[in-house]
Amino acid sequence: MTAEGAGPENCGEEQPQPPSGSPVEREGARGKEDTETLNLVLQQAAWCLGGLGALVHQWIPAAGRLRLLSVSGLAPASAEAWADLRVDQHVAPVRAVRGGEFCWMAGDSLGVGAAGTAAVPLLGVGGPMGVLSVLTAGAEEPGEVQRSFLRALAGWAAERLGGGSDIPLGPDPVAAADRPVRMGELTAALAEAVTSQDVAEAFAKHVLAPFGADGLMFTVLEGGRVRVVAAIGYPQEFLEAVRDIPASLSAPVLDTVRTRVPRFVESGAEFLQRYPTMRGLRELAPKEAWAFLPLMASGRVLGMCAVSFGHPRSFGDGERTLLTALGGLVGQSLERARLYDVEHARAQELQRGLLPKVLPRLPAAIAAARYLPAGRGEDVGGDWYDVIPLSADRVALVIGDVMGHGITEAATMGGLRTAVRTLADLEMPPDELFSHLNDLVGDLGEDCCATCLYAVFDPVARRCTYALAGHPPLVVVHPDGTVHVPDVSPDPPLGAAEPPFDAHHLDLPDESLLVLCTDGLVESASRDIDQGLLQLRRTVARAAAHTAYFDPAHQDGDVRRLEDLCDIVVSALLPDPGRTNDDAGLLMVHARCTAAGDVAYRTLPEDPRAAGQARAYVREHLGAWGLEDLVPATELLVSELVGNVVRHASGPIRLRLIRSHSLTCEVYDGSLTTPRIRRAAHTDEDGRGLQLVAALSQRWGARYLDDGKCIWTEQDIPHADASGVPGPVHAPSGV
């Protein structure tokens, strides 16, 4: 060993220089296909050995030199040292070309910080075309599995670069001919694989059928236990039996991982002879031949790939080499896919945690929803939905979509959902709420944008008021089965709009169905949003008719029936959610109007007589509704609220009572002043009215109208049925 490459070496015997005219000898720029081939080869080679970088040299026989063709992972200064190698230099790439086989040299041959160099020639039909080299970070010589993998990469690269492949594979001519083809097909498929299941399906498609195999299982070692990452062709009872078992009980896994050497078992008898403790598991999955392949990544063993056969078979040398190389190729992709699986699962868990776990069942609305994460794409999205109870049995419905995908967008979605709930609690109308939300989105940056639909359904007025910011429109299904999409022009998305926003009003018949969705449900690469909305309308209409959703005889279990409608819609519009590129959200709401007999309304005089008339009105109607137990507290409440208007505000004064799951008392006046609870001193003669209101009611608050405000209170109604609504009682005449 000369000073250029001190340390142990493992190279073939030097042969005469290869003949001139190698098929790879070409000048000028490489084509796009050659570039992609070399990039894949370099990436996989560096991953296999956990290398600092990888290089491909072209052999120029006439000049007696190796010219650097492509490099990955090295700084320009380091790559420059390898740019032009003479045939007399004592470095691994030259030795590999001269010897015609794998070569390993320990040490930092050219002073670039490497601990060793592994090189394997690219052999064409006329001799060496070039050489594939990996600069390693560790001084340990690559094992047989890694060598076999590098040879397979070199053979595939030689075939794709136009020189054919002449790597000796043993006596199996079929395997030798198929080797570069199989490597190329699987490499291309694995480049598109995102999840662990994608990797398993790619391996099954390109490996199982050509080899006549019928089973595949990827297992990894985690914390001393074996975990099945993906499996194809095994019964469920077998997978349950091997799931999360101690590594000490899985002899094939331990054997393969410990030695890093593939194991080929050609019959059931041989399997039981090698692994007698595995008899019970074999009976659950009666296979007759196996290839146990170590899954290598970054120089370490992740676990094992088991390729199984339903009949005994022998493995030729070429098949063993090819299966070993394919297993090594899968190890790199599986490591990447498992990292994606973990991060994607965490991101989805974050997003699910930000969405409502249970939608409230309210007197005026029952709801069901679906959220489907993108089957393909990056991380998670920013779709969200919510159902928010308001005063007087009104309900706010919201669905939105933060543009983009990722953890940042999911976190932004959580912040917007919280902001919407906060603004909704302030009883803001939809257009005013959007003005505040637009400012919030704008403060997040110029690149932040969100679409949203926010609606408030008033069951007493039987009206839905909503605002639309760059979002798919509201779809309404009437009780007679007709479907209506209001023709309104949406405002621009939040963050890109300039207030004011438009508020739209829609009168609804009782028992209407409201459908809200995000664009991921109705828009895709194969259809535009108008086509998707048309399909949504038709699907909802057919589903409602087919399930007799609005039939009064089938009103029991309405939440379950609404869930069924959601499933029908999702199945029709997203038949293959695993192939979608965008998240999809769906919110379906059954809106129920308040019966006229459950509402009482009275105008009061603007003088001290108002409180007494309000108390009399309360006694009359609560008695008719069978709510005598609530009369004393309600009289006190209306006395305080009406008295405050007489003393501190202005008329007209109106009183409204609503009976549903609770008793709502509302007092309207013409003032926009805000009522506030204050702490009264011991010597104060007043100032305790709102404290009394808060003590006597379950909830209380104020909402503001164009011509004044409304102070409202809610009291629980005792002895309500399971739906939260007491039995019907005829209201007195004149209500």
In this structure, the number of other CB atoms found within 10 A of the CB of residue 603 comes to 13
Q: What CATH class is the domain 3-168?
A: alpha beta
Q: How many CB atoms lie within 10 A of CB 296?
A: 29
Nearest CA to 466 out of 511, 515, 407 is that of 515
Q: Which of 716, 717, 711 is nearest to 690 (CA)?
A: 711
**Domain 176-347 falls in which CATH fold?**
Beta-Lactamase (3.30.450)
Give me 700's structure tokens.
Answer: 């209380």
**Across 129-138, 221-230, 273-282, 339-348, least confident range:** 339-348
300 C-beta neighbours (distance < 10 Å), count: 13
Beta strands 9-10; 584-591: pairing state: unpaired
Mean pLDDT of the chain, nearest integer: 81
On the 0-12 / 13-18 / 19+ scale of CB atoms within 10 A, 425 is middle
Q: Which residues contact 464 (CB under 8 A, 6 or more apart)?
A: 455, 456, 457, 458, 474, 505, 506, 507, 508, 514, 591
Is it the case that residue 197 has pLDDT exceeding 80? yes
Could you tell me if 661 and 717 are in contact, meaning their C-beta atoms sit under 8 angstroms apart?
A: yes
Give one DSSP letter per residue of 287-302, joined into a string.
Answer: -SEEEEEEEEETTEEE
Name the band, by pLDDT with cuts 50, 70 and 90, for residue 555.
low
- Are 466 and 449 in contact, with CB atoms under 8 Å apart? no
| CA–CA–CA angle 395, 397, 400 (5° rounding) | 160
| Ranges in the chain annotated CATH 3.30.450.40 | 3-168, 176-347
pLDDT of residue 561: 87
Q: How many CA atoms lie within 13 A of 28 on its CB side?
A: 3
pTM for this model (two decimals): 0.63
pLDDT attached to residue 378: 52
Which of 15-29, 363-377, 387-401, 474-488 is least confident?
Answer: 15-29
Instruction: Report domain 359-591's class.
Output: alpha beta
Mean predicted confidence (pLDDT) in 271-284: 85
Give yes or no for residue 416 having a pLDDT over 80.
yes
Percent of the chain residues past pLDDT 90, beyond the cut: 34
Q: Tell me, rounded to whole angstroms, the distance of Cα 379 from its chain centroid.
A: 5
Q: Tell me what the mean pLDDT of segment 112-139 comes to.
A: 86
- Where are the domain boundaries for CATH 3.60.40.10 in the chain? 359-591
Whole-number pLDDT of residue 26? 36
Mean pLDDT of 639-649: 87
Cα separation of 163 and 707, whole Å? 86
Q: What percentage of the chain exceeds 70 in pLDDT?
A: 84
> What is Dmax (Cα atoms) for the chain?
119
Among the listed residues 362, 388, 391, the one whose alpha carbon sits nearest the alpha carbon of residue 702: 391
**Is pLDDT larger for residue 201 or for residue 674?**
201
- pLDDT, average across residues 210-220: 87
Please say whether the beta carbons of 393 and 595 come within 8 A: no
The DSSP secondary structure of 386-431, one letter per residue, reads: EEEE-GGG-EEEEEEEEEEESHHHHHHHHHHHHHHHHHHHTT--HH
Q: What is the pLDDT of residue 31?
A: 54
Task: Give 33-57 pLDDT, tens digit per residue.
Answer: 567 667 777 877 887 777 888 999 9
Return d(Cα 510, Cα 475) in angstroms, integer.
16
Residue 730 confidence (pLDDT): 34
Mean pLDDT of 583-593: 93
**How many CB atoms are located within 10 Å of the residue 676 CB?**
7
Best CATH choice for the domain 596-716 from the list 3.40.50.2300, 3.30.1650.10, 1.20.140.10, 3.30.565.10: 3.30.565.10
